[in-house]
């Protein structure tokens, strides 16, 4: 067992053994977490925190008056930053983690129209009947809303309702804008709602999910024991209107929907309400309900088709070997009571998780992971292990995952860990993340046969591992060697092997987000893949201010990868009058495959291409036309 994780496991008292027999529902927990019985019980806990905060404050005041060295105040939860640190079916266009669980992104499809969220505005572009023409645009915020201090980064569509999700530092939480789209692609504003939350931004994860008409948010809320009104940090919602006040927020998580485990909590070391809110977009008026778990502040979250899993970590000061205490909470989306399990280590990001069809939860953990807050996933460190536990082993939080649920894994070379579950394998490796590509001649990707014998296969590579994606039942590993961009296809059955490598000279991937890639299968073992690219050696954060230079397309033919060509950007230099979200936090370029057609979204341009087959049998992409939907630009450039 690996150091760090092994220490934490040994220190845990396993209160109850895992069940020897399956229940009727093999994923159902034997017990669930306990909610507060009443508002009075919750108030009693908060009052005890306030009394302790007063005692500590008075003690520091007496020490200061006596001329003694004042002890530093215990660290309260970090305040919300004033701004983000840098100015996610056949017609699906989003590279999602789970089929049927859509993720908030910058481009979606509604009938015969593309809908694009770009720099604080919504745009529609007609693609029906062979067209490619801008139709309409509208601010991504409501009339009268001051967009300053707000980031509008994610969009989802349910029926004829477009949802724009933003985070407002000015108004203190998640901003939900609702818009109506007609069959003709015209846009109309419906309303704006605010959901109280702290900053949840991540360099990898997305804040929102859509399952049917259910809009799902995970929003952490840090509790400050020194606050005059602790309830001001509880899940709440209001409908925005001119002159709206903080007093109009209505709590949506009563005490009886706030849960806790047996773990002691230290509010002076950081405690949060880890809140899952579900909103019904089919209702005439948007209504949301929250379920919250009271736990330490560090977190990584993952959304499966039926639950939100939140992994929390209590960071401790001390020697490096003193691993932090951790727990994973399973919060069902049907509103039933959460369950939990004591664990060790920390996942890297949402792709560290997989809720399998076999009733097991699989999690790649690292001894010193830092959660998934801003760039924390790129800074994780320590030994690795695969945790594999039955969902039925979750309970009231008193039980711990046993030692034999963890399997030690080798540590890859590289800076930023990447992972993905494909078929029956967990693949992982490391690359440069948001840094500038580094010279790399020796690297590796590991393939863990997690569902069978957990055997780990090592596949040597001459490039870093900056992205791992599924190609149907197999995979592709993408990474830089410092100047060139490599695509290595991996055959996963019966034994993982590197099958083929395509190299694009003087190139790097233009998007670090998972949504930047897309694979379109045409039949078994055959399909098209696309990825935005930039010049070799340029760093990942370039996409924050510039569109990709091109979108590159490859054909997969039985894992042999061949270049079809690229559609190049011709970015306009005109001032677009941007008022909000003027940095492309979620990127700006995407490959799109729709209605048998092939497009590239790059900034304010959509370029269409077609695949021509030459007499030699070679296939190449030929640009057919492009349209600019930039504010004030001609409808069709050529």
How far is the CA of 588 from the CAs of 91, 154, 432, in angstroms? 20, 12, 20
What confidence tens digit (pLDDT) does each residue in 411-457 have?
998 778 999 999 999 999 998 877 777 888 899 999 999 988 889 99
Q: Does residue 11 carry a pLDDT above 90?
A: no
Q: Are strands 396-400 and 381-390 parallel, antiparallel or unpaired?
A: unpaired
SS3 content of the chain, % helix, strand, coil (to 5): 10, 45, 45
Structural contact between residues 435 and 475, judged by C-beta atoms closer than 8 angstroms: no
pLDDT value at position 545?
77
Three-state DSSP class for 205?
A: coil
Mean pLDDT of 186-193: 96
pLDDT tier at 633, thresholds 50, 70, 90: low
Tell me the pLDDT tens digit for each residue of 605-628: 999 999 999 888 899 999 999 999
Query: If you compute the radius of gyration of the chain from its CA atoms, what whole number of angstroms results?
Result: 25
% the chain with pLDDT above 70: 88
Q: For residue 635, is pLDDT > 80?
A: no
**Across residues 154-167, what is the average pLDDT?**
96
Question: Which of the four pLDDT bands, split at 50, 70 and 90, describes residue 86?
Answer: very low
| Strands, E assignment, 267-393 | 271-280, 288-296, 298-303, 307-314, 325-332, 339-344, 346-347, 353-355, 360-368, 381-390
**Candidate ranges 294-298, 390-394, 432-436; pick with highest mean pLDDT:** 390-394
- State the CB neighbour count (10 A cutoff) for residue 625: 13
Q: Say what the pLDDT of residue 336 is.
A: 94
- Tell me how far apart the alpha carbons of residues 110 and 117 are, in angstroms, rounded to a whole number: 13
pLDDT in tens, 297-328: 878 999 999 999 999 987 655 444 455 689 99
pLDDT score of 69: 40
* Amino acid 3: pLDDT: 40
Report the alpha-carbon distance of residue 509 to residue 100 in Å, rounded: 27
Q: Which of 431-440, 479-488, 599-608 has the lowest mean pLDDT?
A: 431-440
Q: What is the pLDDT of residue 183?
A: 97
pLDDT of 205 higher than 70: yes
Check residue 82 and give its pLDDT: 32
Among 517, 522, 516, 536, smallest CA distance to 476 is for 517
C-beta separation of 479 from 413 below 8 A: no
Q: What is the pLDDT of residues 124-150, one digit of tens each?
A: 999 999 999 999 999 999 998 999 889
Identify the pLDDT of residue 459.
97
Q: Length of the chain in residues, anyone? A: 638
Nearest-5° angle of CA 99, CA 102, CA 103?
130
In angstroms, rounded to a whole number, what is the distance separating the alpha carbons of residues 460 and 477? 11
Predicted confidence (pLDDT) at residue 17 exceeds the cutoff of 50: no
With beta carbons less than 8 A apart as the criterion, state whether 151 and 581 touch: yes
The pLDDT, as a whole number, for residue 77 is 35
Band of pLDDT at residue 25, cut at 50, 70 and 90? low
pLDDT in tens, 354-382: 999 999 999 999 988 766 776 677 777 78
Answer with the residue of higher pLDDT: 524 or 115: 115
Rounded distance between C-alpha atoms, residue 175 and residue 165, angstroms: 6
Distance, in Å, from the CA atom of 284 to the CA atom of 515, rounded to the nearest integer, reads 31
Are 452 and 425 in contact by the 8 Å Cβ rule? The answer is: no
pLDDT 10s digits, 542-590: 777 788 899 999 999 999 999 999 999 987 767 899 999 998 989 999 9
What pLDDT, on the 0 to 100 scale, is given for residue 464?
94
8 Å CB contact between 374 and 203:
yes
State the average pLDDT over residues 272-299.
92
Distance CA 485, CA 547 (A): 18
Average predicted confidence (pLDDT) for the chain: 87
Q: What separation in angstroms does the CA of 181 have from each of 107, 138, 231, 286?
A: 14, 11, 37, 17
How are strands ordered across the β-sheet holding 605-613? 589-594, 597-602, 605-613, 619-628
> Looking at the predicted structure, is the pLDDT value of residue 80 above 50?
no
């Amino acid at each position: 067992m690996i150091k760090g994780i092994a220490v934490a496991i040994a220190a845990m008292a396993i209160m109850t053994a895992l069940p020897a027999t399956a229940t009727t529902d093999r994923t159902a927990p034997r017990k669930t977490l306990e909610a507060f019985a009443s508002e009075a019980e919750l108030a009693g806990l908060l009052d005890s925190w306030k009394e302790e905060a007063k005692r500590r404050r008075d003690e520091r005041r007496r020490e200061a008056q006596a001329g003694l060295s004042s002890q530093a105040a215990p660290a309260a939860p970090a305040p919300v930053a004033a701004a983000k640190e840098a100015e996610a079916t056949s017609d699906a266009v989003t590279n999602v983690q789970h089929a049927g669980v859509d993720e908030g992104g910058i481009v979606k499809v509604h009938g015969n129209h593309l809908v694009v969220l770009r720099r604080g505005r919504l745009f529609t572009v007609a693609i029906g009947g062979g067209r490619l023409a801008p139709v309409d645009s509208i601010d991504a915020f409501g009339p009268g809303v001051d967009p300053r201090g707000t980031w509008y980064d994610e969009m989802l569509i349910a029926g004829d309702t477009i949802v724009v999700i933003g985070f407002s530092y000015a108004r203190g939480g998640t901003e939900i804008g609702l818009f109506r789209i007609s069959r003709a692609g015209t846009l109309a504003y419906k309303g704006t709602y605010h959901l109280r939350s702290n900053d949840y931004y991540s360099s990898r994860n997305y804040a929102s999910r859509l399952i049917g008409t259910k809009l799902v948010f995970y929003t952490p809320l840090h509790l400050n024991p020194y606050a005059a009104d602790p309830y001001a940090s509880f899940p709440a919602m209001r409908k925005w209107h001119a002159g709206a006040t903080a007093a109009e927020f209505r709590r949506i998580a009563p005490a009886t929907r706030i849960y806790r485990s047996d773990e002691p909590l230290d509010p002076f070391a950081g405690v949060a309400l880890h809140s899952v809110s579900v909103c019904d977009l089919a209702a005439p008026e948007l209504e949301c309900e929250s379920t919250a778990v009271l736990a330490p502040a560090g977190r990584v979250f993952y959304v499966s088709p039926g639950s939100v899993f939140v992994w929390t970590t209590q960071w401790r000061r001390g020697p490096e070997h003193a691993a932090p205490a951790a727990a994973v909470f399973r919060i069902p989306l049907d509103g039933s009571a959460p369950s939990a399990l004591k664990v060790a280590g920390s996942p890297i990001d949402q792709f560290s998780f997989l809720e399998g069809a076999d009733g097991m939860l699989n999690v790649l953990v690292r001894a010193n992971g830092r959660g998934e807050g801003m760039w924390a996933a790129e800074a994780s460190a320590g030994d690795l292990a695969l945790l594999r536990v039955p969902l039925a082993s979750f309970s009231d939080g008193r039980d711990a995952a046993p030692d034999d649920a963890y399997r030690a894994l080798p540590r890859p070379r590289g800076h930023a860990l990447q992972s993905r579950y494909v078929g029956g394998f967990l693949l992982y490796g490391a690359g440069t993340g948001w840094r500038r590509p580094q010279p790399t001649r020796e690297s590796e990707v590991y393939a863990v046969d997690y569902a069978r014998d957990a055997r780990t296969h090592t596949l040597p590579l001459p490039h870093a591992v900056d992205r791992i994606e599924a190609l149907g039942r197999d995979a592709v590993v993408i990474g830089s060697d410092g100047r060139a961009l490599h695509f290595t296809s991996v055959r996963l059955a019966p034994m993982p092997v590197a099958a083929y490598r395509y190299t694009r000279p003087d190139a790097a991937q233009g998007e670090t987000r998972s949504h930047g890639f897309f694979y379109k299968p045409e039949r078994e073992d055959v399909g098209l893949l696309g990825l935005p690219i930039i010049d070799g050696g340029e760093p990942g954060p370039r996409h924050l201010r510039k569109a990709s230079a091109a979108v590159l397309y490859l054909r997969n033919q039985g894992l042999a990868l061949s270049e079809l060509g690229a559609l190049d950007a011709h970015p306009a230099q005109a001032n677009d009058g941007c008022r909000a979200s003027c940095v492309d936090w979620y990127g700006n370029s995407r490959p799109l495959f729709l209605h048998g057609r092939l497009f590239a979204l790059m900034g304010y341009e959509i370029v269409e291409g077609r695949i021509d087959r030459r007499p030699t049998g070679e296939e190449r992409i030929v640009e057919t036309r492009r349209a600019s939907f930039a504010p004030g630009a001609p409808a069709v450039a050529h």
